[in-house]
Amino acid sequence: MFEQNLSNILGQLEQDGLKRELRDTQSAQGSRIQFEGREVLNFCSNNYLGLANDSRLGQSIVESIQTEGFGSAASRLVCGNMPSHCALEEWMAKFKGTEASLMYSSGYMANVGIISSLFGKDDIIFSDRLNHASIIDGIRLSGATLKRYRHLDMEHLEQLLESTSGLRHRCIITDSVFSMDGDVAPLDKIVELSGHYDCQVMIDEAHAFGVMGDLGQGCAHHFGVQDRIDIQMGTFSKAAGSFGAYVCTTKLIRDFLVNRSRSFIYTTGLPPLIAAASLKAGKIIEEDQSLRNKLWDNTYYMRAGLRLAGFDTLRSSTPIIPVLIPDSQVCVEFSKRLFDQGILVSAIRPPTVPKGTSRLRLTVMAPHTKTDLDLTLNRFQSIGKELGVI
């Protein structure tokens, strides 16, 4: 009965062409990878700066393992709080200009643990409709009332702020760079509204850390509003090429999270060598402007080329470039044809994105060469014509 039910659900997914399977990458990450038995140009990863296979990160791991070993053997609150964890947190707070910083084992755990501990059933959370699943799950777990506003729609957000008053606290939570659309939350407007309506602001910089801001600090710095955002969360798993997550905030909030955030407390500390690799990545991000310059040159080049060819890239203004192909079957066929020609681009369909907005989702990387990009643009144009997309 139980298994029959699971099997029915999977069967339905299969019938709808929505069943998902794991596919194999057989090389280290990079702009070219070995995928399902062939070499492809990679436009799928979040490894924006190419740091996921950088030997400098490897070197810092080797140095850490010699003194700190591998596992951290306990929750950080017991005896698993090791030198590399502390060094990373100290450095992050300085880099972001906040009083304090705290690491989590992943971005997912960070959002769930931060939101569910800081907010409760007497609170209201205003959340962009396209926020990441981990934010939604954190809100659900918190028991707070969820008010979703239309994507990037500040008028709608203001209406909701005006028409509600929390029994206790209110908080606006938003991705800073949106993972499926590659557009950016208007943080300048958001902090204005939070000031006017007296509520907290939390942002998720997963796709912004290492990418946005003069030194890669993220969107808060890009807008110059870092001092007006209460909770800046982000990950080391994307542009930093490592793993784990951070929250940069006040000493008080950090102290509260250490005492109350269940996904921080009831889990083993990350292996310290991961923190050592993240710290190295952070320093490279801060010091090596050339990587970020290359990423942005490639981004502008790719997006301009796609637009010129007649593709709709929505409101993307970051290295995440969606190419709208509303018909999901055509979208999947487009992705298949690209793969046959050695180019890996994922087709994103409902329910990951709203109905009628299927898309190819490209992510540009610093290590892509002009030749890589030209080849890809060329293939996009020919397949786009074959399939009647342009």
| Burial status of residue 81 (CB atoms within 10 A of its CB: 0-12, 13-18, 19 or more) | middle
User: Which of the stretches 57-65, 105-113, 277-285, 376-384 binds ligand PLP when contact is defined by CB under 6 A?
Assistant: 105-113
Q: Which of 103, 172, 206, 323 binds ligand PLP (CB under 6 A)?
A: 206
Residue with the closest Cβ to ligand PLP? 107
- For residue 145, what are the CA distances in angstroms to 39, 121, 200, 327? 48, 7, 15, 35
313 closest CA partner among 300, 298, 332: 300
Does the footprint of ligand PLP cover residue 134 (CB under 6 A)? Answer: yes
Neighbours of 12 (CB within 10 A): 11
Residues 226-255 that bind ligand PLP (CB under 6 A): 235, 237, 245
Q: Which of 35, 48, 95, 108 binds ligand PLP (CB under 6 A)?
A: 108
Does the footprint of ligand PLP cover residue 346 (CB under 6 A)? Answer: no
In the 3-class helix/strand/coil scheme, how is 170-235 assigned residue by residue? EEEEEECECCCCCCECCHHHHHHHHHHCCCEEEEECCCCCCCCCCCCCCHHHHHCCHHHCCEEEEE
Q: Using DSSP bridges, classify how beta strands 231-235 and 245-249 pair: parallel, antiparallel or unpaired.
A: antiparallel
Does the footprint of ligand PLP cover residue 207 (CB under 6 A)? Answer: yes
Q: Going residue by residue from 158 to 177, which x/- string records binding to ligand PLP, judged by CB under 6 A?
A: -----------------x--
Does the footprint of ligand PLP cover residue 179 (CB under 6 A)? Answer: yes
Smaller CB separation from ligand PLP, 62 or 133: 133
What's the N-to-C CA distance of the chain in angstroms?
49
Size of the site for ligand PLP (CB under 6 A): 14
25 closest CA partner among 344, 238, 277, 242: 344
> CB of residue 60 vs ligand PLP: minimum separation in angstroms?
19
Q: Which of 50, 107, 138, 210 binds ligand PLP (CB under 6 A)?
A: 107
Does the footprint of ligand PLP cover residue 219 (CB under 6 A)? Answer: no
Q: Please give the Cα distance from 257 to 235 (Å, whole number).
A: 17
Residue 348 · residue 389 · CB < 8 Å: no
Q: Using DSSP bridges, classify how beta strands 100-104 and 346-348 pair: parallel, antiparallel or unpaired.
A: unpaired
User: Which of the stretches 80-88, 203-211, 250-258, 338-346 binds ligand PLP when contact is defined by CB under 6 A?
Assistant: 203-211
Residues 304-343 that bind ligand PLP (CB under 6 A): none
Q: Which residues are catalytic?
A: 179, 207, 238
Q: Going residue by residue from 114 to 133, which x/- string records binding to ligand PLP, judged by CB under 6 A?
A: ------------------x-
The footprint of ligand PLP (CB under 6 A) covers 106-108, 111, 132, 134, 175, 179, 204, 206-207, 235, 237, 245
